[in-house]
Amino acid sequence: MTHPLIPSVWQLAQPVAEKLNLRIVNVVFQTNKNPPVLRIDIQKEEGDVSLDDCEMMSRALEEVLDAEDLIESAYVLEISSPGIGNILQTEREFTSFKGFPVEVATKTPYRNKTKWQGTLQGRDEKSVYLNCRGKIVAIPRDIVTQVQLLDGPISSV
């Protein structure tokens, strides 16, 4: 379940990121930590996110969040790159991670499965392509809910 402040934080953070040629890819408010952690993942259109990018975003967003007084209690602001293990979304990510192990989830079964693991071969307007044990599988994009990088070897799902 998403924290109710997330849409407001996203709305405030997006223009700040754009000014720094960054984009917001995820916002999470971890209220189970003490103090709570507001984590914002950023990306660049080209190249990797550096520590300097995270620091610039943190300083700029800190000012905006303080001025809005959106979060009443003390919290930690954490700006980071989404890194490996996250969901692939952009064409750049699908190109960059071609040949990497992924898991594809579908909203309805495709060939009697809702989870597919294989080596990412790419995607086009119609399908996401995986190499599953030497066979190319074309999973229709209209039923794909997420494509996530795997940390370890492909298991038999």
Cβ count within 10 A of residue 128:
24
Q: Phi and psi of 136, rounded to 5°?
A: -80, 125
CATH of residue 21 = 3.30.300.70
The reported pTM is 0.56
pLDDT at 47 over 80: no
Is 53 in the same domain as 117? no
Residue 55 pLDDT grade (very low, low, confident, very high; cuts 50, 70, 90): very high
Report pLDDT for 79.
93
With contact defined as beta carbons under 8 Å apart, do 24 and 40 qualify?
yes
What would the 3-class secondary structure string for 89-132 be?
Answer: CCHHHHHHCCCCEEEEEEEEEECCEEEEEEEEEEECCCEEEEEE
Give domain status of residue 155, yes or no: no
Residue ranges making up the domain that contains 68: 6-80
Is 65 in the same domain as 98?
Answer: no
Q: In the listed set 60, 80, 100, which residue is the last one of a domain according to the structure?
A: 80
pLDDT of residue 22: 93
How many angstroms separate the Cα of 5 from the Cα of each of 31, 60, 116?
11, 19, 34
Average pLDDT over residues 48-60: 91
Quick one: 49 and 95 in the same domain?
no
Residue 157 scores a pLDDT above 60: no
**Domain shared by 105 and 132, yes or no:** yes
Instruction: Determine the pLDDT at residue 151.
Output: 67
CA distance 40 to 152: 25
Mean pLDDT for the chain overall: 88
Q: Is 35 domain-assigned? A: yes
Is the per-residue pLDDT at 85 higher than 70? no
Q: Are residues 29 and 68 in the same domain?
A: yes
The whole-number pLDDT of residue 156 equals 57
- pLDDT at residue 93 in the model: 83
pLDDT for 92: 82
Q: Is residue 49 part of a domain?
A: yes
Number of domain units in the chain: 2
Looking at the structure, do residues 76 and 10 belong to the same domain, yes or no? Answer: yes
